């Protein structure tokens, strides 16, 4: 299992995963209400990493913009390779 820390930006124009010098940013259309932005961020990460959505689980940051997700079935090296290709 690998972990990834991201910054979630709610209420964006479209949902996307960006990798830059400041780390991984997940922009989502949802508002940060009742976990909607977190759920959308997990799905966007799953899509970017080419894994099933059920394999991405929130570890920390339920009420924060900075979140850590665990990704099952990926090594840290594989996760890094896939996210850089996103």
* Domain definitions of the chain by residue range: 2-84
DSSP, res 55: G
State pLDDT tens for residues 36-79. 999 999 999 999 999 999 999 999 999 999 999 999 999 999 99
Matching residue, tokens 């989502």: 28
Give the integer Cα–Cα distance in Å for 74 and 32.
28
Report helix, strand or coil for 32. coil
Report helix, strand or coil for 72. coil
Residue 86 has pLDDT above 80, yes or no: no
The reported pTM is 0.93
Report the CATH superfamily, name and number, of domain 2-84.
YggU-like (3.30.1200.10)
Give the integer Cα–Cα distance in Å for 61 and 82.
23
Give the integer Cα–Cα distance in Å for 50 and 58.
17
Q: Backbone dihedral region of 44: left (phi > 0), alpha (psi from -120 to 50 degrees) or beta?
A: alpha
């Amino acid at each position: 299992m690998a972990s990834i820390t991201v910054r979630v930006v709610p209420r964006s124009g479209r949902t996307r995963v960006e990798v830059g010098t400041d780390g991984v940013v997940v922009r989502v259309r949802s508002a940060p209400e009742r976990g909607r932005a977190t759920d959308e961020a997990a799905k966007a990460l799953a899509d970017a990493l080419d894994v099933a959505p059920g394999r991405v689980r929130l570890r920390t940051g339920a009420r924060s913009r900075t979140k850590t997700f665990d990704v099952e079935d990926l090594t840290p090296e594989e996760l890094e390779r896939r996210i850089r290709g996103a």
